[in-house]
Structure 1
Amino acid sequence: MATARSSAAAAEKRRLILDAAVRVFARQGFHTCRVSDIADEAGVAYGLVYHYFRSKDEVLDTLFLERWNVMLEAIRQVDSQDILARKKLEAIAGFIIDSYRHDPDLMKVIIVEVTRAANSFGQTHLAKITEAYNLIAQVVERAQEAGEFRTDISPQFAAMAFYGAIEQVLTGWIFDSLPKAGQDFDDAKRLIVETICGGLDQ
């Protein structure tokens, strides 16, 4: 019983540090902040961060992989459903946009500090990032085989265009260059799918 309580307390501390890191990375940028900034934000001793994470890099890696793996699983679950590809792409776009809506700081960190950081974390996690494109490409490829989508556009290109459109909209929200009231999120889901699927439809 004591061990279970100890494990739960450790997990809670680790989560506290990760959540604090999201706020610090989003506010200050990964490269300009220090581990001590994360500790201060979490309200814990400096050394406690190093008890759970070997470095600031490992904190960012953990944040990215946690969220990205959730997204990959969501894409797989959507693709397993017996629905048209357009509906699958709507669900995937909806999941990613709702993720931003729920936790904009985390999505900002993932986009700015990882997926768009070509010379650092983006390169480190390229295989994981590419996995998402490949899963979306499979949705498109099967739709092409079923006659739902035209076949003169490669599935990989379509997947990258689809995800790229979503990421660009998120970037617009991150930098406040696009409106982000309640209806704007729903409009974005619809318009991204209409734009991409409009080019893929037979």
Structure 2
Amino acid sequence: MPKRVDVNARRAEILDAAVRVFARKGFAASRIEDVAAEAGVAKGSVYLAVSSREELLTAAFDQYRARAEEQLATPGTGSALERLAALIRATVAMLAAHPDHARVLLDVWAARTPIDMAAVYTEYRSAIAELLGEAGADGQLRPGIGPEHAAVIVGAIEGCLVQWLADDRVRLEDLAEPIVAICVEGLRR
């Protein structure tokens, strides 16, 4: 009797293997054969799960995006600035917990891929701008703080992410509180 394969579980294994391979070798240098070897399956098994390397990259990005959307959908409690600080901490923790996905993100930034990074940035900036607007309406912000500061906050998180990926002496987990101190407390009235 032939062995039954859980198609969804196999696809998840292949996707996890692809993320590890893309993180280690970069997307451009990775081949389907590399992903198959990492997953411990035949090359044909990869093609049963996905149609191309690009689809693997898109699926890996979709995993990251789902985590990001989960962070944004968790409203938290407290004032708008307290919720912004919590969002920053949760985002840094999520990125630190998934270093291979973070490395793949760098590859997505650098390569021409079918991934719409602008949409993810728009979601984060919108969520942060909304919190800044609420904090401003509550009188919590110093004068001159507006929605454009959302891009600066996203940039601070990503700048720390890049340093962490480039220099193993930098610990991303240790940077959440400094980001909060500058990007939240620095805006407070």
- What is the TM-score when the length of structure 2 is the normalising length? 0.88
Instruction: Please identify runs of 4+ aligned residues in structure 1 that moved more than 6 A.
Output: none
Q: 1:191 aligns with which of 167, 170, 178?
A: 178
Q: 1:99 aligns with which of 77, 94, 103?
A: 94
Runs of 5+ unmatched residues, structure 1:
1-5
In 1, Cα distance between the equivalents of 2:78 and 2:178? 20
Q: 2:153 aligns with which of 156, 159, 162?
A: 162
Q: Residue deviations 1:56-78, cap 9 Å, x none?
A: 11111111122212212222213
Structure 1 match to 2:84: 89
Task: Summarize the alignment of residues 42-121 of structure 1 with structure 2, pairs less than 5 Å apart.
Answer: 42-78=39-75, 81-110=76-105, 112-114=106-108, 116-117=109-110, 120-121=112-113
In 2, Cα distance between the equivalents of 1:121 and 1:132? 20
Runs of 5+ unmatched residues, structure 2:
none
Instruction: For residue 89 of structure 1, give the secondary structure of its aligned residue in structure 2.
Output: helix
Structure 2 match to 1:175: 166
Seen in structure 2, the aligned counterparts of structure 1 residues 123 and 107 have a Cα distance that, compared at 3 Å, is closer
Seen in structure 2, the aligned counterparts of structure 1 residues 103 and 128 have a Cα distance that, compared at 3 Å, is closer
Instruction: Tell me which protein shows more helix as a share of its residues.
Output: 1
In 2, Cα distance between the equivalents of 1:62 and 1:37? 17
29-38 or 93-102, larger mean C-alpha shift: 93-102
Structure 2 match to 1:20: 17
In 1, Cα distance between the equivalents of 2:69 and 2:142? 25
Give the C-alpha shift of residue 149 in structure 1.
Answer: 1.5
Q: Residue deviations 1:134-158, cap 9 Å, x none?
A: 1111111111111111352221x21
In 2, Cα distance between the equivalents of 1:22 and 1:139? 33
Q: 2:144 aligns with which of 152, 165, 182?
A: 152
Contact 2:54-2:114 at 8 Å conserved across structures: no
1:10 aligns to 2:7 (yes or no): yes
RMSD: 2.2
Contact 2:58-2:114 at 8 Å conserved across structures: no
Q: Residue deviations 1:151-175, cap 9 Å, x none?
A: 52221x2111111111111111101
Q: Residue deviations 1:38-57, cap 9 Å, x none?
A: 11111111111111112111
- What is the TM-score when the length of structure 1 is the normalising length? 0.83
